Amino acid sequence: MLRVARHLLSDNDAQRHGQLRDYFCDKDAKATPEDGAWRLELDWPGGRERHVDPRIEAHLPALGVGDLSQMALFRRSSGRMMTTLYDTWTLLAWSEWAKRSGARPGDRITILHLDDHRDLAAPRLATTAVGYEDLITGAAFDVLDPSSVKAACESGAVGMGSFLTPFLLRFPECDVRQLGQAPKITATTDSVFRAATVEDDLLRPGVGRPAIALEPTSGGPGPGRYRATDHLGHWLSDIEDGPVLLHVDMDYFNNRYDGDGDWLDRRARHDPPIEMVLRRVDEVTAAIREAGLLHRIGAGAVAFSPGFFPAEMWHPAEERLRAGLEELYG
């Protein structure tokens, strides 16, 4: 059971709810006053009010998922690809590849990151003298130890918006290529990524949490760089030799909801019809094949991203993606 000092959370219900949502992100947290402190209980969200897409429940049975609270832990693997609902599990797929392949921190790895988001937030990990520690469970964490990565994904220490951060800190020579679409990405920009630290403000106030800082550069892509682009050619240009890792968040193809209950009021939405989504899947997978990268992809993960990518598109889009990347699923 987690306990935090009383002054760290607001006595106002709405403000406290906001604080807990900001901190735990993917998990629901309930705070109860107890002996001059707050007792925290964490659960995966199971209420309909937490999920903005009204069609989610209708499409869970096809995946063998019983209810909304089970979505976060769903994953299945086929060949070199892992299929998930939450893209948190991409880190586990890559961690298992790193252990299997004997990857070392100085290796040059290209990351193909199809996503409407960067996923570079600070995970709920503490930086210690000997490495990282899960702030929720107290367990040790290491990207090169898949069992510790699995535990951190299950606890919520690593989440959908933060799974890329610990991998880049462990492998600082990665060449990251994010492919996005408007309205969030409308040009090609390059940055150098560097290790940074943010201070925890709840579970262990003042303790450093691992983070990534981006510094704009005109030097183009390469090791230690992060390119964000909306252009297929710029996404795959000048990729060096070496292993490639793939992450496909389906909200790259359509991000109708963007996790926002007020999505209907947003003027600028990335919400193309299914015909355009399938056409874009074909374009992206063809570009990867034509660049000769399929055989170099050591591990990949695709996430349906409930509450972002529309549930009625899950099945047809996955079928088209599997057809385009068939070699990876073998």
**What tens digit of pLDDT does each residue of 27-42 get?**
999 999 999 999 999 9
pLDDT for 262: 81
Q: Give the mean pLDDT of the chain.
A: 96
Residue 104 makes CB contacts below 8 A (sequence gap 6+) with: none
DSSP 264: G
Mean per-residue pLDDT for 255-283?
91
In this prediction, residues 243-268 reach a mean pLDDT of 91
* Contact by Cβ (8 Å): 318, 84: no
Task: Return the pLDDT at 266.
Answer: 77
pLDDT score of 259: 86
Give the C-alpha separation, 214 to 193, whole Å.
5
Q: What's the token pair of residue 139?
A: 């367990």
- Mean pLDDT value across residues 37-52: 91
The larger pLDDT score, comparing residue 77 to residue 264, is at 77
The answer to whether residue 207 scores a pLDDT higher than 90 is yes
40 by Cβ neighbours in 10 Å (0-12 / 13-18 / 19+) ranks as: buried
Task: Give the per-residue pLDDT at 305.
Answer: 96
pLDDT band at 267 (very low <50, low <70, confident <90, very high): confident
Whole-model pTM? 0.97
Number of helices (H) and strands (E), helices first, in the chain? 9, 15
Paired with 78 in beta bridges are: 81
Which of 313, 314, 305, 266 has the alpha carbon at shortest distance from 119?
305
Report the pLDDT averaged over residues 189-214: 98
Bridge partners (DSSP) of residue 126 are 133
Please check whether residue 79 is in contact with residue 329, taking contact to mean a CB–CB distance below 8 angstroms.
Answer: yes
Provide the pLDDT for residue 330: 84
Residue 180's pLDDT band (boundaries 50, 70, 90)? very high
- Specify the 3-state DSSP secondary structure of 98: helix
